């Protein structure tokens, strides 16, 4: 893979606009600045997945608990409406089967509930789909502010929509994981069409839709055609460093349709080893993301 040949210092340089840094304090500062300067909400994610050592699982639980504690006490986020949410990946909490991740994530969900912090259980590749939906829905139905993610590239997602109960948060994305043709479409147009169609169905069922895409035409379709159905139950989400802030401002101020909250996905690491590994995986898994980042880097230099 080409991504493995890129030296780590270059990967880190490449990632600077897209990772909040190598500490919780840096991530909190980025989140506070985005809210202060742009009115943008955030969700914090600790980089690291597919854990191989039990010690790393234990460290991830402690680190996420410290993230939740920090968000609950930081005076910059005293207003709950401005407080970042937290996102986590199940594979960061097990070295074996999926079920081993259930208890630590449930523990963190309860901790987040006590601190007034919303939690999202991120979706990984197709091997995790059933477990992730079952876990997140169960936590939500027990009174926790827990959401999850569905990916429109997977053919099964149309049926999975019905598994998300009214009132729950659902981040709807194309998905970054490459999947075999027998379970997923490779047609980007179809993925985007599914996003708009599925968002409409979810809103009609009173699910809170977190619409996650950087594609401007798809954003505009969602804001103009779908969000008016229930603007209080949706928001736009993008990755840190990728979006044009003018587009986010237009969505937030209602220039394209109803005014919607906007939220940026803000990843950080407690060390650059995890961050570098994560970025190499993303570069390998989705060359389109690499080209999008390169395009943004060159456009900034003009």
Active site residues: 122, 171
DSSP 4-22: HHS-HHHHHHHHTTTS--S
> How many CB atoms within 10 Å of residue 248?
21
What stretches of the chain show up as alpha helix (H) in DSSP? 2-5, 8-15, 24-38, 54-73, 102-115, 129-141, 157-160, 188-204, 216-221, 245-253, 272-285, 287-300
Q: Tokens for 195, please give them.
A: 């996003």
Length of the chain in residues, anyone? 302
User: For residues 219 and 228, what is the distance between their CA atoms, to the nearest angstrom?
Assistant: 13
Sequence-ordered list of residues with C-beta below 8 angstroms from that of 194, at least 6 positions apart, any chain: 152, 157, 158
User: For residues 134 and 121, what is the distance between their CA atoms, to the nearest angstrom?
Assistant: 11
Is beta strand 146-151 parallel, antiparallel or unpaired with respect to 234-239? Answer: unpaired
> How many CB atoms within 10 Å of residue 79?
9
């Amino acid at each position: 893979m080409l991504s493995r040949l890129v030296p780590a210092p270059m990967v880190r340089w490449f990632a600077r606009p897209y990772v909040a840094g190598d500490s919780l304090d840096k991530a909190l500062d980025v989140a506070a600045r985005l809210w202060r300067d742009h009115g943008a909400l955030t969700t914090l994610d600790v980089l690291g997945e597919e854990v191989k050592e039990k010690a790393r699982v234990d460290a991830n639980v402690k680190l996420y608990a410290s993230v939740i504690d920090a968000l609950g006490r930081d005076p910059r986020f005293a207003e709950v409406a401005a407080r970042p949410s937290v996102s986590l990946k199940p594979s960061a909490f097990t070295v074996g089967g999926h079920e081993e991740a259930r208890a630590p994530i449930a523990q963190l969900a309860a901790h987040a509930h006590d601190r007034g912090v919303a939690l999202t259980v991120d979706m990984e590749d197709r091997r995790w789909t059933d477990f992730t939906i079952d876990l997140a829905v169960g936590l939500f139905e027990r009174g926790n502010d827990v959401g999850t993610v569905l990916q429109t590239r997977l053919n099964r997602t149309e049926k999975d929509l019905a598994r998300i109960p009214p009132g729950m948060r659902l981040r709807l994305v194309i998905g970054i994981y490459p999947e075999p043709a027998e379970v997923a479409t490779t047609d980007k147009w179809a993925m985007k069409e599914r996003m708009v169609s599925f968002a409409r169905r979810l809103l009609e069922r009173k699910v809170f839709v977190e619409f996650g895409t950087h594609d401007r035409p798809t954003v505009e379709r969602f804001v103009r055609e779908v969000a008016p159905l229930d603007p209080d139950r949706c928001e736009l989400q993008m990755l840190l460093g990728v979006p044009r802030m003018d587009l986010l401002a237009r969505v937030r101020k209602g220039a394209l349709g109803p005014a919607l909250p906007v939220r940026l996905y803000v990843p950080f690491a407690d060390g650059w080893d995890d961050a570098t590994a994560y970025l190499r995986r993303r570069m390998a898994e989705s060359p389109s993301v690499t080209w999008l980042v390169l395009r943004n880097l060159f456009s900034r230099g003009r």
